[in-house]
């Protein structure tokens, strides 16, 4: 019985391959029925005898249009025709429903013809040619594209990291991870109307684009120096009255710069921290959260106070003007749910509450033990304390002189601690003005 089943399966497979090669759909359908019967042949069901086959088991199928099996038996009868038959083979039900399969040619001959075609068809279905990558031919266009890419990379690198080594000052800056670079700085160190001891330094932090920070960096220093020179009293340069006049001139220069920017109708704003050295005095002014810290015998002292809604006096000033402040889920206080500083250049839509009048402090340099000044944007101060900044600069100046390396150390420290904002750091050597 097992040998008969194996022989039957081999014959059926040969017939199926031949029918597939010849494209005879009707035969393939009937051959599928035979395959099912062969599978049932090996099942453990008991053999059923049939008078038509002399006791041999037969699988019976009905020929109804619904093609449902009427009888299921574990055997199949296959009838082979002679090779000399030239008439088309007919497949149908014979012997009381037994399935009989007639073939046109000997199975071995059909297998030898159909096998290569079937193998070729199966390989074609599995295999697809790989996608061809044609290398570009080097030419003028490729050379120009390469040069443009190098130029763009260089510009991006210069924007992301900048270092400046000047006369008595050093600057290091690096772009943040959230937006385009919006920090800036300004320095005036040359002789001003014969007074070599006058100098101006400033660090600016823009928001809402670069328009405000670019304008302030180009105008504020000149406005402050010009206004301070007009108010300076040479005969009483160190008197309290002269100091008050200089402080008032600085405030007027800040307000004038803000008015000039607002008159352009440009959006955005900028914070600032500036230092003016004149006649042995250091005048520091600020708007927003840029900060200036002085080192006296290695001890850090902040010369500015950040203008944020978290300050009680600033919050009271805004609320008394009809505005409001709020604290978000991240713990940041904002004016009108918008701006995180209470004083700045620009920000015309909030100018009723966000003013441009700076706070100004005066520090005599003589006998104060002053060493250097650190001016930086909030990208540094949000991650580095005042004393840490002073210690880092002092460590970099252990060789007896300052360098841009001290600014770079502070920028790297802020970035390592997770600062995602723009970071700009300026160090000013104060000993060059007076031997304190």
Give the pLDDT of the chain (436 residues) as one tens digit per residue.
Answer: 666 667 667 666 766 566 555 554 555 555 555 555 555 555 444 444 344 444 443 333 333 434 434 344 443 333 344 433 344 433 444 444 444 434 444 444 444 445 555 655 555 555 566 666 555 555 667 778 888 877 776 566 555 689 999 989 999 999 998 778 999 999 998 766 666 678 999 999 999 999 999 999 999 999 999 999 887 655 445 567 778 899 999 999 999 999 999 999 999 999 999 999 998 899 999 999 999 999 999 999 999 999 999 999 999 999 999 999 999 888 899 999 999 999 999 999 999 999 999 999 999 998 778 999 999 999 999 999 999 999 999 998 876 678 899 999 999 999 999 999 999 999 999 988 875 4
Tokens standing for residue 85: 């038959």
In the chain, the number of structural domains is 2
Same-domain check for residues 51 and 188: no
Same-domain check for residues 358 and 273: yes
- With respect to residue 91, please indicate whether it lies within any of the assigned structural domains: yes
Residue 344, pLDDT score = 98
Residue 191, pLDDT score = 65
Cα-based distances in Å from 27 to 24, 90, 112, 271, 317: 6, 9, 19, 87, 95
DSSP assigned state of 195: B
- With respect to residue 17, please indicate whether it lies within any of the assigned structural domains: yes
Phi and psi based region of residue 223 (left: phi greater than 0; alpha: psi -120 to 50; beta: remaining): alpha
Q: What global pTM score does this model have?
A: 0.65
Beta strand pairing call for 423-429 and 169-174: antiparallel
DSSP assigned state of 201: E
- CATH number of domain containing 202: 3.60.40.10
Same-domain check for residues 201 and 119: no
Same-domain check for residues 19 and 91: yes
Q: CA-CA distance, 32 to 262, in Å (whole number)?
A: 87
Backbone angles phi, psi at 238, to 5 degrees: -100, 10
Which residues span the domain enclosing 267?
160-307+343-429
- With respect to residue 419, please indicate whether it lies within any of the assigned structural domains: yes
Same-domain check for residues 194 and 103: no
- With respect to residue 76, please indicate whether it lies within any of the assigned structural domains: yes
**Number of helices and strands (H, E) in the chain?**
10, 16
- With respect to residue 71, please indicate whether it lies within any of the assigned structural domains: yes
The SS3 assignment for 395 reads helix
Residue 95, pLDDT score = 41
Task: Indicate the residue among 73, 108, 123 that finishes a domain.
Answer: 123
The SS3 assignment for 187 reads strand
Same-domain check for residues 110 and 246: no
Task: Please report how many Cα atoms fall inside a 13 Å half-sphere around the Cα of residue 319, on the Cβ side.
Answer: 11
Same-domain check for residues 47 and 172: no
Same-domain check for residues 165 and 104: no
- With respect to residue 322, please indicate whether it lies within any of the assigned structural domains: no
Same-domain check for residues 117 and 191: no
Smallest CA-to-CA distance from 353 within 374, 332, 333 is with 333
- With respect to residue 324, please indicate whether it lies within any of the assigned structural domains: no
Same-domain check for residues 277 and 423: yes
Beta strand pairing call for 299-302 and 291-296: antiparallel
- With respect to residue 152, please indicate whether it lies within any of the assigned structural domains: no
Residue 401, pLDDT score = 76
Same-domain check for residues 252 and 382: yes
User: What is the rounded radius of gyration, in angstroms, for the C-alpha atoms of the chain?
Assistant: 46
Same-domain check for residues 261 and 401: yes
Return the H-helix or E-strand segment holding 424. strand 423-429
């Amino acid at each position: 019985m097992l040998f008969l089943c194996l022989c039957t399966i081999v014959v059926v497979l040969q017939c199926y391959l031949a029918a597939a090669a010849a494209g005879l759909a009707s035969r393939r359908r009937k051959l599928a029925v035979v395959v099912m019967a062969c599978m049932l042949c090996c099942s453990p069901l008991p053999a059923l005898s049939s008078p038509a086959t002399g006791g041999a088991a037969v699988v019976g199928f009905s020929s109804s249009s619904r093609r449902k099996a009427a009888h299921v038996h574990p055997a199949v009868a296959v009838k082979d025709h002679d090779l000399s038959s030239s008439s088309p083979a007919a497949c149908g039900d014979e012997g009381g429903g037994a399935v009989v399969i007639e073939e046109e040619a000997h199975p071995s001959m059909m297998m030898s013809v159909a096998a290569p075609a079937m193998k070729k068809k199966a390989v074609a279905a599995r295999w697809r040619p790989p996608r061809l990558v044609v290398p570009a031919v080097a030419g003028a266009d490729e050379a120009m594209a390469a040069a443009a890419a190098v130029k763009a990379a260089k510009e991006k690198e210069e924007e992301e990291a900048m270092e400046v080594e000047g006369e008595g000052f050093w600057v290091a800056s690096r772009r943040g991870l959230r937006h385009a670079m919006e920090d800036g700085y300004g320095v005036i160190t040359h002789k001003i109307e014969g007074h070599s001891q006058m100098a101006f330094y400033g660090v600016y932090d823009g928001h809402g684009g670069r328009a405000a920070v670019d304008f302030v960096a180009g105008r504020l220093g000149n406005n402050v120096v010009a206004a301070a020179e007009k108010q300076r009293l040479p005969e009483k340069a160190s008197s309290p009255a002269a100091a008050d006049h200089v402080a008032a001139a600085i405030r007027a220069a800040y307000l004038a710069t803000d008015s000039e920017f607002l008159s352009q109708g440009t959006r955005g704003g900028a914070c600032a921290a500036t230092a003016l050295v004149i006649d042995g005095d250091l005048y520091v002014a600020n708007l927003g959260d840029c900060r200036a810290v002085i080192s006296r015998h290695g001890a850090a002292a902040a010369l500015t106070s950040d203008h944020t809604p978290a300050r009680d006096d600033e919050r009271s000033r805004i609320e008394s003007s009809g505005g409001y402040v709020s604290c978000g889920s991240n713990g940041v206080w904002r004016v009108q749910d918008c701006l995180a500083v209470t004083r700045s250049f620009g920000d015309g839509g909030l100018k009723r509450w966000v003013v441009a009048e700076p706070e100004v402090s005066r520090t005599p340099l003589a006998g104060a033990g002053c060493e250097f000044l650190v001016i930086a944007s909030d990208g540094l101060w949000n991650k580095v304390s005042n004393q840490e900044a002073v210690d880092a600069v002092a460590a970099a100046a252990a060789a007896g002189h300052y360098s841009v390396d001290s600014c770079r150390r502070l920028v790297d420290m802020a970035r390592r601690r997770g600062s995602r904002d723009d970071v700009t750091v300026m160090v000013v050597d104060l000993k060059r003005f007076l031997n304190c």
